[in-house]
Structure 1
Amino acid sequence: MLSMPLDVIGLIFAILDPRDLLSLARTSKGLRAILMTKSNKWYWVYALTHVEGLPQCPPFLNEPSYASLVFSKYCHNCLKRAPLVDRVFIIFSARYCKECENERLVTQEHEQFQLLLGEIEDVVSERPKFTSYGYPARYHLPELVAFSKSWNARAGNAEAQTQLVRDFAASVKSRNQFAKLFRVWALRKKQARNKELRDEREAKKNAIIERLRTLGWGDELDQMDSSSRDRSLGREPLFKKRGPLTDRVVWANMQDEAVAWIELQRDKRLRRLRDKVMDPRFRLCERFLQIWAADYWPIDEYDDLPIPSTALQFRDYLLMPEIRSVLDVPDNVAVTWEVFREKLGPLLPGLVREWIESCKEELRAKLEVVFSSFQEGVDPMRLVTTAQLAARGHAKPMSVILWHGRLSLWEAIADPPSPDWKARVQWDTERIMVNPGISPLKARALIEACEMDADSATPEASPRMSPGLSEISRAVSRQAVKLKMVSAGITAADFRAAGMDISQGTTRVH
């Protein structure tokens, strides 16, 4: 290109925009020498005047520097990419990335600023003005350093230092005036870019919808609300891909994603329609089960270990296939109170008994693993040492599912939620552990202090001590009594005394 006549080169440069001139100036030393010569600055002036709305080059910058500041895409400090016009701090003649902005823009509390301000006020009566950005005001650290050097160079010459402050104030005024003009242009440029992106997204959205109609999804698209459809499509990764929607490349690559999206929207719509049908069925079923449990709960068969009707929650009922089969029928099939009474009434006693026994078996297996010293033939669920268990994990929701006399027993929570309607919490022995508030060691110590066998003691084993066991459990669980083990010199008599005190409603720390 350098071998071409200069008038031809000039004609080429005259049709380039500032970004093109910057790229050419960085291509070779020869081109840089041509473009950076003062006599050729008209190339830059001509290019800058062709940028719509851009203010003319300010007096505190030359044309190449102005073009580099506005149209370059790199941070002036670290050379990282900072392409947005918001990264241009025209008042400081700098473009910074976010990290360098935080590093090089300082507040009045900065040590350099306070030191410089103190030195100036000792010499000059009028307060100096520096260029600032934002609120609260932030100042350009390189500018403060440059001013400090100029100030120190005039040390001992009060008149020269006063003139420096006044000249700097005039420069700040000029920069502020130009910054207002530049911000107006930057805002319009940003608005134009946003409009361009909106138009591009709108065109791409319409193109995707049109191609889905071609694939036979027209009826589904017509049933969707246009605003919710657009919001949903706008969140999809396929919609965020830049560039026009071409058939041979872009659409061929995103067609599967677009079909998957419309299928998902169809499934959601069908689920909403299904929920409108199922919600009344669930509410009616829940009411039926509450009334049935109040009248027919099989409590007589479990007098030795009474189970309240509230133990079996509606969410646990919904996990039973027999109940789900009554609810999960086509939309046009009526599900009424008579249907529940005829189909579920005869089955519920057996289902409840089966559920209770399965829960007990799971608990027995759990307890036999945790407590290995049970006597053979002893039901671990009946022991006082296993009387208080709790669930680990979240505190809510929580459902009590078994009862053990006056002692609290087993609680369960569910995590993560089940996708089944209102089946978000159900019985789960995997969530059960020994409550840290009453460890097996403490429980055994208390029971043995009451002259009972910890491996076989039940609340009914000693009528005299049974009423006190619940008080002992509650006192230990809230750590009102700090038990010390036999290794610390505590005797059985001390434990017995502690147990009697607790049973009488008082606490005593040994």
Structure 2
Amino acid sequence: MPRNTKTRAPAKQSSSPKRRAKGTPASTSNAAQPTIPAPRRFRGRGQLKMLPEMPLDILFEIFSHLDPPDVLRLARTTKDLRELLMSRSAISIWKAAFLNDPDLPCLPEGMNEPQYANLAFSPHCHSCFVAGEHSILWAFQVRLCSKCMEGRFDESYKVFKKVPGKSMSLNITLLRHATAIIPTGSRFVYSYDEVVEMHEKLATLKKGDSKKYEEFCDKRRKWVEEIQAHASQAQMSGSKRLARIQRMREEARERRRIEVYKRLGDLGYTDEVEYINDTRPEMLSEHSLIKSDVVLTDRVWDNMKPQLVELMHSVTEKMQRRKRKSVLKKRQRLLLSILKAYIHERPMDEIHPRAVDVCVMPHIKAMLEDASMDAYTTEESFQDLVDDLPAAEDRDFLLRATTYFRCAECREPIAYPRILAHACLSELQHGHRNRDDDDAILFTNLESEPWNYGGKRVTYYPDAEASAKSVVHNCGLDVDMTTAQDMDDVSPWLECICCRHKVNGRAVFRWRKAILHDMYHAALGDSSNWRPLSDSHAEAAEALQQTTFQACYNDPPDNVCTRCRHQSSYLQMRTHLRISHGIDDPEIEEDYVLQVDASMDQPPFTLMLPHSLPEIIELDDDERPSKPLKYSGNSIVIEMTTE
């Protein structure tokens, strides 16, 4: 029994021997017993243990689809695979591998397939066997690190110093060279040993038969040319291979991306995929689950599907909102085209509601916001709406010459009907672009808001009313009955007594300018004092206005061409009428008009009428000057119209 125990104990230890420290001798009892090697344990996936035991025809078929670097790495995996792949019977595998790599040139002279693969794809230096950055010297069929190149290869001027004279520099075509990375950069390098050997060879041949010398040089030169041509092709194969591999990966990624999109479409997410590709395509194309060159199998898809479905759910609401915006925008465009055609046919001085005001009308807004995606898709759907546009009723108060409003932005007196068309009252305010409701979408699409949206942009202007009543009263008219049209028909001229100057003369104004001037005095705390001009003085003021009006520069684009509705400043309008319509002397109300939202403060501005009334000279049609005459001294020339 004890003997059996002693014989079993070593066997039990040998099945799983303990590691011992390096250099520590084995025990005497273990050394006396025969050593039984422990079997190798392969753990994890990717075991190559059973490969050598497979039938050779199956192995050869599998390996024939590999590239040269794959076969090279496989041959260095296990001893069994190395013995298999390095045997002569495996030459077909290597040849098939090189056929799978179209970038490398054919096998060079003096090398077999494994050697060629080792030169092109090995990660180790052929001299010191250290992995790292190497230079492949194709012409010399060797791969070296920078340390191992020292003393063996260098630039031509350094290498040629090894031989006397200039014999090798003159016969440089007989030497091989290769591109290598050296401390001074990427350069052509030559072999020290080859230069010395070739120098000695040439020196020996020169002493003998010259014919043999020439034959050797010609043969050597042709051989070098063939070597260098092959080396040049091999040098370029690296970049070609990288480009080909990158192209193949991109194609594989594209196939995977298309397959993922197709499977998402089969799950009912076609619209979501289109929405993401239109707004943020990188969300899918750069996704880690999609941006891969691995073939998409059913097993892989089942693993990644839950995450992609969750992503689709996150964009569904945003997609629906975007579709909603698109539908609203299309319907608004149809409505706007009808409104533009309708307004173009109406008189230029007629006030119409803005597009945004029409869009917020209850029955029109209901049409624009209809939930159906297929409703109201043509202009005919909105054609009958022009008959429902609102019109102002009972405008007696609004038409008075003393009725004025004030804009919260510009604070200028605004009368009717300009108050309905004033730009500030429909300007898009901040904050709508950050909202996502239907009203914000309507307003943002039109870049405007409904008139006086919120009810805080326009207020009545009592100060302007007080000044207007003073002007109307001094004209001898009823302040409660006189309309703006009545004042235009009377067209009175008024003098501000407060602004009379001993030298410059008397300050005279039209009635609208007089209101602004009266407000100026009121703001300073002065009491206004107006006096209407007599007929003769009014004629002189009219003549002075005509001569100064053309010299005034009005920058705001308040003038509209009656022929093409082009809008520009006063001077630009005169240029437009002359160039586009051939009108050299345009007339207001006939060739151009002030836009509805034009300011009250139009040129000419304050006119100073001389104290002494100038002489008025009337001219017949035949005596009219070609250019308007200016005021000079005490004379003003007024053109007399003939009936």
TM-score (norm 2): 0.34
Structure having the higher helix fraction is 1
- Give the structure with the larger strand fraction: 2
TM-score scaled by structure 1?
0.41
Structure index of larger Rg: 2
